[in-house]
């Protein structure tokens, strides 16, 4: 059963600022219109940053190419969350690591954003680990290991072109609400990029 508007209003009132913000900038599109209005009202009454309301609106409309590209350049012009470098445009890459333990073979793909040099380092570390530890599982170690190695090498080559990778474009598109809400705050953008690198594993 759907909660009544009173119940919803109370739920929003009881959410701490960070949870309320997270709901607004990531899940607004899944809320029904009345719920959205309540959420916006609650954000306003707390005096939270107006960027959050903009972050809601971005999720409700399909963003056009111009907007997408402006978010992509914004993200790419941040300093590298790993080394702090600002001289190069950031990019994103997936690095695959295969580890085999007895008969089990684990294939993990880690998503990271950073300057090309840091992305390459992450990629090389994954490649080395895979080359040393991937082969020992039968049969999947023998299948997954070359697969991951080939993909990592391709990723590393693509980083040389300095074009925004597809995976960066996907990331920006999927997180448009968050990016819109914090686009004027470099510090928040840094926190977002650091968090992405620390936890995100990509299943695709």
Q: How far is the CB of 203 from Zn ion (least distance, A)?
A: 25
Residues 39, 190, 37: CA angle, nearest 5 degrees: 10
Burial category of 88 from C-beta neighbours within 10 Å (exposed 0-12, middle 13-18, buried 19 and up): middle
- Judged by CB under 5 A, the residue of 38, 118, 178, 189 near Zn ion is 118
Q: How far is the CB of 18 from Zn ion (least distance, A)?
A: 28
Q: How far is the CB of 112 from Zn ion (least distance, A)?
A: 10
Q: How far is the CB of 91 from Zn ion (least distance, A)?
A: 10
When the beta carbons of 114 and 134 are compared against Zn ion, the nearer one is 114
User: CA–CA separation, 171 vs 113, rounded Å?
Assistant: 10
Taking the CB of residue 57, how many other CB atoms lie within 10 A of it?
14
User: CA–CA separation, 91 vs 83, rounded Å?
Assistant: 14
- Interface residues for Zn ion in 175-194 (CB under 5 A)? none
Cβ–Cβ < 8 Å for 114, 85:
no
When the beta carbons of 109 and 121 are compared against Zn ion, the nearer one is 121
Nearest to 90 by CA among 151, 153, 148, 171: 171
Nearest to 97 by CA among 149, 143, 138, 137: 149
Q: Which stretch binds Zn ion (CB under 5 A): 6-14, 16-24, 25-33, 110-118?
A: 110-118
Q: Does 53 bind Zn ion (CB under 5 A)?
A: no
Q: Which stretch binds Zn ion (CB under 5 A): 16-24, 115-123, 160-168, 182-190?
A: 115-123
- Interface residues for Zn ion in 60-89 (CB under 5 A)? 80, 82-83, 85
Cβ–Cβ < 8 Å for 201, 108:
yes
Q: How far is the CB of 115 from Zn ion (least distance, A)?
A: 4
Interface residue list for Zn ion (CB under 5 A): 80, 82-83, 85, 114-115, 118
């Amino acid at each position: 059963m759907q909660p009544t508007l009173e119940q919803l209003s109370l739920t929003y009132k009881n959410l701490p600022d960070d949870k309320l913000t997270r709901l607004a900038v990531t899940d607004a599109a899944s809320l029904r219109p009345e719920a959205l209005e309540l959420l916006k009202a609650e954000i306003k009454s707390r005096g939270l940053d107006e960027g959050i309301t903009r972050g809601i609106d971005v999720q409700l409309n399909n963003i056009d190419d111009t907007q997408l590209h402006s978010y992509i350049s914004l993200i790419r012009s941040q300093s590298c969350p790993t080394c702090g470098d600002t001289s190069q445009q950031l990019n994103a890459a997936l690095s695959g690591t295969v580890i085999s333990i007895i008969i089990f073979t684990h294939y993990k793909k880690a998503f990271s954003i950073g300057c090309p040099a840091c992305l390459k380092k992450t990629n090389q570390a994954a490649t080395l680990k895979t080359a040393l530890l991937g082969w020992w599982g039968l049969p999947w170690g023998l299948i997954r290991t070359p697969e991951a190695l080939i993909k990592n090498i391709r990723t590393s080559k693509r980083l040389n072109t300095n074009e925004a990778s597809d995976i960066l474009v996907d990331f920006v598109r999927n997180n448009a609400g968050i990016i819109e809400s914090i686009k004027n705050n470099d510090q928040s953008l840094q926190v977002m990029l650091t968090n992405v690198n620390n936890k995100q594993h990509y299943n695709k």
